[in-house]
Structure 1
Amino acid sequence: MAVHPGDSPVHVALRTSDVDEARAFCRKMFYGPLQVTPVGDASNFFFAGDVVMIGPVTVGQISYGSDIRVNIADLETSYHVLAPLTGTLRSRHRGTAVLADPTRAAVYRPIGDIDLDWPGTCRLLSVKVERAALERELDAALDQQIVSPLLIGESFDVSEAPGRTWVALVRLLHGELCAPDALAAQPRMAARWRDMVISGLALTVEHPYGDEPAGLQGPRRPRTVKRTLDAMHAEPSRQYTAGDLAEIAGVGVRVLQEAFRQHVGVSPLSYLRRIRLDGVHHELSRSDPWQVSVSDVAYRWGFTHLGRFAGAYRARFGESPSQTLRDRR
């Protein structure tokens, strides 16, 4: 198994009775456009958050101690699951209301505002999975193109398998990564746990694929295309040429390019650049600007020309890489 940049797990914890400090923590760990508003008597407000991050997966065990309201704009880059361990969470997303409790988890798509009524008695697992990672997992499992964002169900049962198994897996991963010197903290082991969380979620949430009738299913991708995609995701920093990728696929360069345009929508090297850009963006958005530099991260992900990299990054994310590193909250 290849270990990519960003596979080393990170554990961050906060205990505070300061609402602003708790809000800033959640924005930095999860989403920028997030509002936390105490409801009624806030004298018992006490935020407790333990968050572990491993590649495209972020898992937090969160509680507030008093009743609050949380409002989040479009997630855009991620899917999200809230699984209460105690108490009941009232959730509204895309016109659907869900009561989440220890028997049922709430699920959120990248598009659509989220409104939460979160009582002080509710302690929950907050699981963020980056959009590309979950979609790529489902895409690979089905061996076909899927429509993004996924039309997943708004909740799932966690009182029995597979939901119960997935939550147990997430809790075990979280507990291991919060513990000092745990085996799961080793990058190679952590990467395996991470992949299990993503693949388990893909098998747990409802979606309009598989045996269900779905006019959304795209054409199956040829084996040559899938083989090339697997190679690029396994080693995104490798300096592939068009000829290298064609050799991996076992076809000529022009044949592979045409297959990619038909089944992926872009050329092989354009797709590889997108993987790298997403990797850099993920790493910069989680890094301490005093400890890393944009150039170091870019080089790790295979970019050798910083000027072209910066232009491509701005075109994809609407900001410079230094802005992501400096201003991400």
Structure 2
Amino acid sequence: MFWAVYLPLISTMVTDDGGCGISALVREGNIREAAARACTLAEQAQGSDRIAVLALNGDLHLAIGANEEAEESLRKSQSLVKGTIGQVRLHASRNGAWQALSRGRISTALKCFSSILADDAVAPERRLESLAGECFALHQLGYFDDAIRKLDEMNALSVTMPDASWLRLAQAIRADLTLQAEIRRSPQLGDHIFWTAATFLSRGWQWDGDATIDGLAPLVAKRLHYLQQVRALSEGDALSIGNIKRYLDWSATALPGHQRFFKVEAALAALASGQTSFADALLDARRAKGDHLGSSSAPGRWEFEYLYCLAKLHKQLGRAHESMLQFEQYALCAMQCIRVEVLPAAQHSSVASADGSNVLDDIGVLLPPRYRRAYAYMLDNLGNPNLSVREIAAHIGVTQRSLQIAFKAYVGVSPKDVLQKKRLDRIDSELSADQRTNLSILEVARKWGVPNRSKLANWYRRQHRGKPSDVLTV
């Protein structure tokens, strides 16, 4: 997706590469070379530097679509984090957010980024990174207005930074989103129901061309020049096709795991302007690589734009029956996206399935499926004061030691600490102003498995939350 253009740059802006040239390579758009160099550096780094470089290495591999390598590097980085539970959780939320975004678990990514922003102690660079991440997630969910508001927050914070890099980045992302919106709002794409249902706060914001690109990293400037050509194509300028092809050729090398998204962007513009043969070539290229959705496979949640393009293509080629079949698949896929991703994000809630596959908050997203079931069992039984780590382990058929090792390796904290935190989160939520209850503090604590006042006070101190009564005064 388009966030893959920005993640490498964001990662180098929050991580010092030690003068090894990774940042320069990223700025120029040499992402694969930067990832290879980060991989070598991660093997050599020591101490806290190794944590940061492993995270950087993971980010770069996410950007090029090497998800397995990215997951391994981010897991190693997480396992090395020491400090308070809050610091460990912050690192886990950050890594989990980008991984969730790469997997198409957009509402999960949004929750992870939001949990970082809820921490007042987060460094400005991490706050800016999380605001950018929230913007990407909200845009992909169709909340264009909210995505723009996150960029407004980025702008406000960016002006306090010592240099203009973050401000230029926020302006570039806004230009990106605005150009995407202009392409998708083409009158010829009026039946693209997912996007026509969205509202657009930035209607009065105009693309100012070179003024926006001035001072940007070549990686980002290239992306905006490409979108400018795509918009021109959507308006009927066939001469832009050559420049579009050159960008797609570059993306095949620089960002191979995300090239199909760029092709769909271009296909939308080609269909809007009646350039049917070019759209067909772009979509055929995807089918040739096995990226298409055949009749035997269920449509992926984030494939609906591809399905929409196929429906429009068949219509322009005079294949009414095929067009209708593809449009039905598109509508089904868009509705599935709304049900599974958009609505949970709007409600800030998640529903755990029997196998724990939907327990994908900032902890669940980091765990392998087997241990995710253990986490789901934990959440389902928070109110049981006798719930133990041994019982949770037995539920999935592993030893207590195995469960502890898995949580430490993938999340960075023990299952006991996670259980403690989740109970306190529930207590905090019920005592907070917007969830005010008639129960006493101790009654709320008992409801969530904390049997006595002494244990409650000790847990609050351990989690650096002050006192339970402090929540009532917020």
Both proteins in one fold, TM over 0.5: no
Structure with a larger share of its residues in strand: 1
Give the TM-score of the pair, scaled to structure 1: 0.38
| Structure showing greater Rg | 2
Give the TM-score of the pair, scaled to structure 2: 0.28
